[in-house]
Amino acid sequence: MLTVIIPVFLGLRETQRCIESVLAARCETAHEVTVVDDASPDAEISAWLGKVERSGRIRLIVHPANRGFVASVNEGMEGASGDVVLLNSDTEVADGWLDRLVACAKRESRAGTVTPFSNNATICSYPRSGESNALPAGTTTAAMDQLFATTNAGQSIDIPTAVGFCMLITRECREAVGPFDEEAFGQGYGEEVDFCMRATRLGFRNLLCADTFVFHEGEVSFGKSGTERRLAAQNIVDGRYPEFQSRLREFLEHEPARALRRGVDLERLRTSQKPVVLFVSHDWGGGVQKHVDALADLVSADAEVLLLQPTHGGNLTLKWLRRGEEFRAWFDRLEPDLVALLRSLAVSRVHYHHVHGLPREILGLADRLSVPFDVTLHDYTAYCPQYHLGDERGRYCGEPDTAGCEACVRRRPHAWGISVVQWRETFEAFLRRADRLLAPSHDLALRIVARYPGLPVQEWPHFEAVPEAMPPAFRIVLLGGLSTVKGLDVLEACVHDAIRRRLPLHFRVIGHLGRGLAQWPEAPLSITGSYPDARLDELLSLERADAVLFLSQVPESYSYTLTVAMRSGAPIVAPDFGAFPERLKGSRSAVLFPLATPPAGINDLLLDLLSPAVRTAAGD
């Protein structure tokens, strides 16, 4: 019999949702549910688990003291007689989930582990791979799972490692590989990679079950101190399995799961109850792109918006503009496959914004789809092949007569290769077929109507959302190149903590990083890059730092950058070992912290130093 093992520590609401979904899900696979209460500090969790156990629906193991995620999993597996599924307590499952995981394992030879898709599962994430995604607006776990079940029925691919939030392990694999390494990965993170690499070396396969979706909240069940554990676990895995990173890179480069995600994207679009609108525009960015993005956001509650643009290579790209979506497809010009796809998605309207970089035939796309179209006039493309009424010097051309415009085009040919007269005839016919013609200003509308009398141009100023007021943030500057020994990993953890707790901190590195990190606007971190040593004082002065932070993980013997920080007069926060204590002795603006201080503690120290009221207001 298959055993579902659910370790529990924190998160009452999430734990209840998980276990209730497992118990309620209709599955043909015979299974039992084992829950491990790893000495949860929440009495309500333990009381609720006891109540469920007394109902006879689960087997409950209670630890008198906390032993960690890995020990909980191993103890659950000790009592299992067949395949097992390890399930985080901040997940949610739907009908048939177990049946499809088991079917995948039975269908594929040498199956060792099976992982489903999820919103939050690194290489198995959807819609965006490698990210923690929210469930698409208006949907549920059950609805998403059904989409995967129908779209990717019976499909699976090999992956370099399982993802531990939901992981089926076959009995054969478990008996050959042994338990998880509790000594190395006791609190969790990395244990599944270690297990999967051992399994791979024994000839077992790790599979992504493409027809199953399990919701995962993330970093709830065993607390939110995941960043530090991930860093430590990664070091262990890299040391034990030098081949893992190259296999992971190869998987990410080839992205075999992309086609499976794209299939679900298309099915969601096809089954959406909202009309599908196609925007057509250039790829120059600027004000046109800003308007396109703003308009897509504005209508997102009532329509699905796709964007068709040219690429730098001369092809076309089709993109889903809803926030959080990853869908993108490429085509060779206006090929039949593109038109067929747009028809299959039931595109009901085309909205033209610009045609730069697109073939002349793009003006007939709405007709080929047999749908109405709108045109927003962003510039003077409708009668000027140069778009902006600018001459060779970049000045207003004065709008000469036709002969003058023809001479301009001969000097500066455009991509379509037709005369100005043909250009204007083409666009006049195009505009007169439009359902709506929109101009953002009265001046633009007047100029277009002067060229093409009688056009019903409507004046619609561009929609501009009022941005949210930005809360003030303290500017925390770090100096020099940051490697692991200089505190790069700690900086990353501080940034993650600032995001998670919405702290008013922005970290600014004057220098470079030993590896890439997420930066603003995704994270409160920005980097200047390398600098001339002689200009560091000037650069630090221009930054107007609220504090200068040092995160060295080894004892500094001197630190020239500390000298620059001391000359600046800014408060300095640094570890209390190496040369820092002696060099900062007597400084009233310096604060030292123990090397073992966790990233959250460093952030709290910064807030206490700069504005104690901020921490009080934040409820810390």
Token pair of 494, please?
Answer: 């501080």
Centroid of chain to Cα 429: 43
d(CA 599, CA 494): 5
DSSP result, 433-497: H-SEEEESSHHHHHHHHHHSTT--EEE-PPP-PPPPPPPP-EEEEEES-B-TTTTHHHHHHHHHH
Is pLDDT larger for residue 519 or for residue 471?
A: 519
My answer on whether omega of the bond before 521 falls inside 30° of 0, hence cis, is yes
Q: What percent of the chain has pLDDT over 70?
A: 96
DSSP, res 412: S
| Residue 432 pLDDT exceeds 90 | yes
Name the pLDDT band for 251 (thresholds 50, 70, 90). very high
Mean of per-residue pLDDT scores for the chain: 93
Q: What SS3 class is residue 83?
A: coil
Domains of the chain with CATH codes? 2-262 (3.90.550.10), 263-459 (3.40.50), 480-618 (3.40.50.2000)
pLDDT per position as a tens digit, 40-87? 999 999 999 999 999 999 999 999 999 989 999 999 999 899 999 999
d(CA 444, CA 481): 51
The strand pairing partners of 205, in sequence order, are: 111
Token pair of 610, please?
Answer: 């700069």
Which pLDDT score is estimated for 232?
A: 81
Which pLDDT score is estimated for 494?
A: 95
Q: Are 158 and 113 in contact (CB under 8 A)?
A: no
3 state SS for 243-280:
HHHHHHHHHHHHCCCHHHHHHHHHHHHHHCCCCEEEEE
Q: What SS3 class is residue 530?
A: coil
Which pLDDT score is estimated for 12?
A: 95
Which pLDDT score is estimated for 470?
A: 62
| Residue 620 pLDDT exceeds 70 | no
Closest CA to 297 of 330, 260, 324: 324
Name the pLDDT band for 484 (thresholds 50, 70, 90). confident
Range of weakest confidence among 107-111, 384-388, 429-433, 514-518: 514-518
pLDDT per position as a tens digit, 8-50? 999 999 999 999 999 999 999 999 999 999 999 999 999 999 9
Which pLDDT score is estimated for 151?
A: 98
Name the pLDDT band for 611 (thresholds 50, 70, 90). confident
Q: Are 308 and 335 in contact (CB under 8 A)?
A: no
d(CA 606, CA 612): 9
Token pair of 313, please?
Answer: 């290579």
Q: What SS3 class is residue 613?
A: helix
| Residue 616 pLDDT exceeds 50 | no
Burial zone of 619 (CB within 10 Å; 0-12 exposed, 13-18 middle, 19+ buried): exposed
CA pseudo-torsion sign 174, 175, 181, 183: positive
pLDDT per position as a tens digit, 185-244? 877 788 999 999 999 999 999 999 999 999 999 866 554 445 567 778 888 999 999 999
pTM exceeds 0.85, yes or no: no
